[in-house]
A and B are shown apart, each in its own frame.
Chain A
């Protein structure tokens, strides 16, 4: 079988694969649409009982029954109701439904024995009426995965694609739940500002916090670039949660002037990994270089001659201060050097 025949076979295989894809995709989509419409809105269901160990007798009582008589959570309630998620409590909002019990579990045991009259008496006496909150789900005691499940339960059915790689991502598998970064009671505005992200990340990633204090660094400490410019904390198929498919693809998003492709490339260094030469967060060397020049380059390259002027050592100074004074196009170039090769000098 010659090359042409192989290509024809491959092309046909691709066509068949596409056909198989459509045959599977279309029925799944049609059946799936119907299922989703009939199951909307999302309601608190079975999984929560599993978390209420030993108290399967609890029942859902609704937010009004839970909070109407107790004013302790008024501000939290107000903030939450005004948030995007709280708005979903409106039956006419066309959004999936969610309320306090969606996360805190069924509340019937917590308010057992409480009456509006008792609350009124306590209020008159200047007391708050405590509910038996220990019968609710103790969220802090849940494993990280169960905490995340509370969020994922709704966010799995509304095409939330920033969570596409969440489950097999480094945070989920590292026992980091949604809670350390997202606080649904933070106020009515639940969207995170990029300015807040470094505090979230540095709570755990202290080594990186120190790296950003080195003399050469990306301006994260200054609040002028953000962890989320490069990383997607919700998970990606890259091991370090990089936003793009490779280190290089992530870097050239902002550093387009060195993206290439070039006629004269730095072997295949430019194919994927800028971190062979550059530190990603901070470095003691200028331009985030991992090691200072010329040692950085000498790790792979034979240095220029050192003994052409033994009296003054002048060429040593020229050749061994910064290689990039002459090889300035080290990321790649389209212009051949005087020798006709790609020495990155032109």
Chain B
């Protein structure tokens, strides 16, 4: 029972394959070497002329957990509107719709899985699981069909960690706590959102700079980043600390971002949705692109990786753990409403609808800044394609974004329609780079897999999980990436011509580094005194994910993936 994918043009950057014509053999869900006995091949797909890549991996997409459900609940009108509306192709943000295409910014769990697989994505990672809310996040991801998933647990604003830091606990104690959190939340990485700031907001601080102290704990974001990046590094967690910098969205925040790159003393860090952190204060409107400075620093600092968080025009919703900055920006909500929460001495959240408009100076410049960063990044292994779904745009806009990156004429044509003042403040038209298929495959497959430490995904080598996407090579890259010819999940054909043909359930990816269980002694005391649930109920068991027979857990080695 071997499946043969014959004569495809293979783009597999993990093995430096850039459009070579090769065959792929699949057996029991994995890629195998050419079998000695060809009679065992039971199924052959002739892929002559087709582009073959590993299934795409979204390394940062808000697909599950409290804030997404709040967004769904507070915005029934988005779903109602989407059910009626088809986009005009003349709109700048329009893309080629698949028959089931949802532009809905907060699709249900079910739709999320379908929309991803229809575009050839076979995995997505929820980047902001607040530990107390992990069970809900996994419940939602558990009801997301078709794709693999996983998440990053948020630390750095929880009172337990900040108490440790203020008490100058040694690094080993911090490491044990970080590892314990990974186990308890079934996560694969650690994230910090507005380091110290969400917590400071609860003490009525309204902004927090990198070297400014949280008023209660007298610790700074820099110290939080140092401590957490070191913990992640010393525990051997593949995924570098995932950092949402302080001062998101604020004019002039690029300096915070530049300084943050130095905060980990050279240890790996990933700066997420960096577009939202690349703003200067030049010009009449005191809002300008700092993409050049950010890109230069990114190119120079090899320990830093980043995803872009591109914005695309249209209605969406911003959902973030950053209650401090979301509260500050709530006046820009469109429609005008926002949900802000302080959560359980653990985290926070802020959810508000937002409409990015191409004739709005700031929005148009945000669009250009994201693309400037993409096009100035020298190393495609250190930059990742995201819209910070749904914050910059729904993930269903990825094919459109890919076209913007691969097609200079299309990009410039779109740029020429934007707010004129914004055009004048951007050097985008002078950037002539066009991404290649190989580079797209790095950003959306090989690089993402390497970053997260998914050893057997994101590539097409022997032994890899057979998550494979097959496209027709078309000059219109948007049409091409919106509707793959075939998608295979674990070796099974699940999408044909952009339509799901079989419903399957993916795995949950986790990292579980070893730690001293003695950490629970103090935690138990803390929970009994200050929390409102039992320590044992805070922890999620493996069984909670796998008991229904659909879910399964993959534990990845806690060392850097070797590619």
Q: Do A and B come from one complex?
A: no
